[in-house]
């Protein structure tokens, strides 16, 4: 008879439970049962882990990781400062002297308020491989809030400040040299005053520290180049024998009028007079003979000075004077080489800043009378009417009455 173990009825109704999975029990002897169970020994560490080189390597690696993190953070911050707007509140010009290295330049820019982090500037210069000789000396203009990247770029590209030296047409060589000596952005002295008429009036660009002699050389070279170009295109029947005589005629034209629309007509008056053997009778030649190229008289020309013989007084001498009386510009050289085709022999001021031209002396006197009437209506000081003929040559009336000219007024 099978015995049913006690339990609840439900368990019995469900049938017999499967036996639990378990390892077969090995019967132990009484002695073995009394002995404690043996625990397996811990695993031994590898000898390589405990090796001093491994320990040192781990330490170095850790240090390198930390250094990389620090450098990365520093580079990030440095880059942000390198491209960030600078402290300048307005554009500023800074002069970097010769011989300054990267550190000197950084300190100078900090003092001038261009940058505020000299080490970031130096680091940026190193990254951009800008050595001391690449950060050139000179005068630089830095824009408002210029970043250090902009500042270094300006210096590396040598974007120095360009100064202008403008020479007005009609100045004498002595006057030009005086203006060069007054310019404090230039350096050095000038050994001698260049010959009259050998400098080309123009605007010349230069950088601070350029020598005055360099400017003079550039002006002389420009004059030679322009004179050669103009001389090669001169009018075939021009009564001028050399480029030097062309400069002399152009200098007289330059002193007689400052209006571009009149130069070729003024040139035609003097060319027509040269062709007909009439004296040029130009007041500026009197003034140059009296002052020697130092400038204007500062007063009207006196009658005695009109008759006073000098090598340059075209009221006394025939033809052109021995040399230029000023430094003419290109426009006057062009007018002298290619004057207008006219029969004019005279010109006089018209009261409005220009001149009126005449073929005959009678017509010229009418224009002079109109000028006197204009002067009287304007309540200006009235100058005596010109003589009917010049003192030295009664049969040759003046080329032009000088009332209203830029240089010298004969009364």
Name the helix (H) or strand (E) containing 32: helix 30-34
Asked if pLDDT for residue 384 goes beyond 50, the answer is no
CB-CB contact of 115 with 148 (8 Å): yes
Q: What is the DSSP string of 7-29?
A: --HHHHHH-PPPPPP-PPPPPPP
- Long-range own/partner contacts, residues 124-130 (CB < 8 A, 24 or more apart): 124/78, 124/82, 124/148, 124/149, 124/152, 125/152, 126/102, 128/152, 128/156, 130/102, 130/155, 130/156
Query: What's the pTM?
Result: 0.72
Which band of pLDDT confidence, cut at 50, 70 and 90, is reported for residue 374?
Answer: confident
Confidence of residue 390 (pLDDT cuts 50, 70, 90): very low
> What does the angle CA 372 – CA 170 – CA 276 come to, to the nearest 5 degrees?
65
CB-side exposure of 233: number of CA atoms within 13 Å? 12
132 pLDDT more than 90: no
**pLDDT confidence bin for 391, thresholds 50/70/90:** very low
pLDDT at 61 over 80: no
257 or 383, which is more confident: 257
Question: 210-241, pLDDT tens digit by residue?
Answer: 999 999 999 999 999 999 999 999 999 999 99
3-state secondary structure of 178: helix
Q: Average pLDDT for residues 319-323, to the nearest whole number?
A: 96
List the one residue out of 383, 337, 165, 160 whose CA is nearest residue 245: 337
- Flag whether pLDDT at 248 surpasses 90: yes
pLDDT at 192 over 90: yes
Answer with the residue of higher pLDDT: 38 or 366.
366
pLDDT of residue 387: 35
Q: What is the pLDDT of residue 392?
A: 33
Burial category of 350 from C-beta neighbours within 10 Å (exposed 0-12, middle 13-18, buried 19 and up):
middle
pLDDT of 312 > 80? The answer is: yes
What was the pLDDT predicted at 351? 82
pLDDT of residue 73: 55
Contacts of 388 (CB under 8 A, 6+ apart): 361, 365, 397
Domains of the chain in sequence order: 92-156 (3.30.1490.480), 163-224 (no CATH), 239-377 (no CATH)
Give the Cα separation of 137 and 187 in Å (integer): 15
Q: Convert the pLDDT of each residue in 21-60 to its tens digit.
A: 555 656 666 666 666 667 676 666 555 556 677 677 777 7
- 2-16, 54-68, 373-387: the lowest-pLDDT one: 2-16
| Confidence at 397, pLDDT banded by 50, 70, 90 | low
What pLDDT shows up at residue 18?
60
Instruction: Write the pLDDT tens digit of every residue in 80-106.
Output: 677 889 899 999 999 999 888 899 999
Over 80: is that where the pLDDT of 378 sits?
Answer: no
């Amino acid at each position: 008879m099978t015995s049913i173990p006690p339990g609840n009825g439900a368990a019995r109704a469900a049938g017999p439970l499967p036996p639990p999975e378990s390892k077969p029990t090995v019967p132990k002897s009484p002695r073995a049962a009394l002995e404690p169970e043996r625990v397996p020994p811990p695993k031994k560490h590898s000898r390589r882990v405990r090796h001093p080189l491994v320990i040192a390597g781990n330490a170095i690696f850790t240090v390198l990781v930390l250094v990389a993190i620090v450098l990365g953070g520093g580079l990030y911050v440095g880059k942000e400062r390198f491209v960030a707007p600078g402290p300048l509140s307005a554009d500023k010009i800074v002069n970097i002297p010769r011989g300054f290295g990267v550190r000197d330049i950084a300190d100078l820019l900090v003092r001038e308020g261009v940058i505020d982090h000299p080490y970031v500037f130096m680091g940026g210069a190193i990254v951009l491989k800008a050595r001391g000789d690449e950060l050139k000396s000179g005068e630089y203009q830095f824009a408002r809030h210029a970043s250090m990247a902009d500042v270094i770029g300006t210096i590396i590209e040598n974007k120095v400040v360009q100064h202008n030296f403008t020479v007005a047409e009609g100045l004498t060589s002595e006057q030009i040299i005086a203006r060069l000596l007054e310019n404090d952005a230039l350096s050095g002295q000038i050994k001698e005053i260049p010959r009259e008429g050998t400098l080309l009036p123009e605007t010349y660009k230069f950088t601070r520290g350029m020598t005055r002699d360099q400017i003079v050389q550039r002006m002389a070279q420009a004059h030679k180049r322009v004179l050669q170009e103009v001389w090669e295109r001169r009018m075939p029947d021009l009564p001028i024998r050399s480029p030097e005589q062309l400069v002399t005629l152009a200098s007289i034209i330059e002193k007689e009028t400052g209006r571009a629309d009149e130069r070729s007509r003024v040139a035609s008056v003097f060319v027509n007079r040269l062709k007909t053997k009439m004296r040029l009778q130009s007041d500026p030649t009197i003034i140059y003979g009296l002052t020697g190229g130092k400038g204007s008289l500062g007063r009207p020309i006196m009658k005695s000075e009109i008759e006073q013989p000098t090598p340059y007084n075209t009221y006394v001498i025939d033809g052109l004077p021995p040399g230029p009386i000023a430094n003419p510009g290109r426009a006057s050289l062009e007018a002298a080489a290619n004057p207008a085709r006219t029969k004019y022999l005279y010109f006089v001021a018209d009261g409005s800043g220009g001149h009126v031209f005449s073929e005959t002396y009678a017509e010229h006197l009418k224009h002079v009378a109109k000028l006197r009437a204009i002067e009287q209506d304007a309540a200006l000081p009235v100058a005596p009417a010109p003589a009917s003929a010049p003192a030295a040559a009664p049969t040759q009336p003046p080329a032009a009455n000088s009332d209203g000219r830029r240089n010298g007024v004969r009364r």
